[in-house]
A and B are shown apart, each in its own frame.
Chain A
Amino acid sequence: MSATEPHPWLAGALVPGRFGAAAGEPVRLGTRACELVQVLARRDGDAALQAAIRAAGGPDLPPPGHAAQGERMAALWTQPRGWLIQAGPDAGLARRLADACGPAAAVVEQTHGRCVFTLEGAHARAVLARLCRVDLHPRAFGPGRVAVTPLSEIAAVIHQTGAAPGFDIIVASSYARAVAGMLAAAAAPIGYQVGGDQMGGDQMGGDQMGGDRVD
């Protein structure tokens, strides 16, 4: 299974089309094909990890609660001295980072361990607020912010990617199907759209991070 294939757990869970309330602007629900790698700085490895990430085209590692976009990858803070690195599909990220970091950091491939949902649209905040208790108001949260918090009762990383607003919701793959159902149920009273304008069996919604759309 390459990184560009959709998660098999999600087969049939998100079908292209418009669902829920028929009136008003729907939120757009989809998944994002990307590579994810967890990096954890080992003792005294912080500076070497930062140098390796920067040399690989990454950003300055962001402080707690924030994400940073680099030239070739994004970094999301998830825990003290630990980040999720996100790049376009088939970037070979884990191997490159493991080689670059050496003993400075633990580098764990998470591409198939996590599933990234996208939730976009004017009412995305209202949908997410049904499931999590983080203050998503623009005065408290905004583009580039990250929260590690339970979504309903499932551990998730919530990353606001755009001011539209748009969110990435990163959960363990084994929970992907349950989260897809949860997001769909939360979005139904507002109405939601799965897939882009073309309805060609493409279960992706939203833009891709430097990668091709999943077909």
Chain B
Amino acid sequence: MLLIRCPVCAMDRPELEFRHAGQAHVARPADPGAVDDAAWAAYLYLRDNPKGVVAERWRHVHGCGRFFNALRHTVSDRILATYPAGASRPEVAP
């Protein structure tokens, strides 16, 4: 069981209260009409799958209901940091 710190509730909560919501910091093209199909498909479907630290969106669905971002190591499954949605990715040692 992962304990995840919700940055809104400011408490450590069990993983069961959260939903994973995909890769964080995926920027939507500012003018979707101007990008070609390949770029749009890349925005919609292509995601990183690294071995190491990933930035992910999580939602505290059974608590405050808010989305936030988390840095998780895909090998150890350890949550290294959580931070509010919209904030830039913090620097952490993996």
Q: How far does the alpha carbon of A135 sit from the alpha carbon of B14 in the complex, in Å?
A: 10
C-alpha spacing A79/B8, complex, angstroms? 8
Supposing A64-B10, A147-B11 touch, asked if A133 and B64 sit within 8 A by C-beta, the answer is: no
B28 CB within 8 Å of chain A: no
In the complex, whether A126 has a CB less than 8 A from a CB of chain B is no
CB distance B13 to A149 under 8 Å? yes
Is A15 at the interface (CB under 8 A from chain B)?
A: no
Among B9-30, those with CB < 8 Å from A are 9-14, 16-17
Residue of B nearest to A156 (CB): B62
Q: Are B16's CB and A133's CB within 8 A?
A: yes
Known pairs A133-B14, A133-B16; A150 contacts B9 (CB<8 A): no
Interface string of B12-54 (1 = CB under 8 A from A): 1110110000000000000000000000000000000000000
Q: Could you tell me how many residues of chain A have their Cβ less than 8 Å away from some Cβ of chain B?
A: 13
Q: List residues of B (39-76) whose CB comes within 8 Å of A's CBs.
A: 62-66
Asked whether, in the complex, the Cβ of B9 is within 8 Å of the Cβ of A134, the reply is: no
A146 smallest CB distance to B (angstroms): 10
**Does A155 make an interface contact (CB < 8 A)?**
yes
A12 within 8 A of B: no
Minimal beta-carbon separation of B81 from chain A (angstroms): 18
Chain B residues within an 8 Å CB radius of A134 = 11, 13
The reply to whether B17 and A150 contact each other, CB–CB distance below 8 Å, is yes
User: Chain B residues with Cβ under 8 A from A165's Cβ?
Assistant: none
Contact call A149/B10, Cβ cutoff below 8 A? no
Measured CA separation A155–B64 after assembly (Å): 11
Whether a CB of chain B sits under 8 angstroms from the CB of A209 is no
Most A Cβ at <10 Å: residue of B10, B12, B13: B13
Q: B residues within 8 Å of A by Cβ?
A: 8-14, 16-17, 62-66
Q: Which 7 A-B pairs have the closest CB atoms?
A: A133-B14, A150-B62, A79-B64, A148-B63, A64-B10, A64-B9, A65-B10
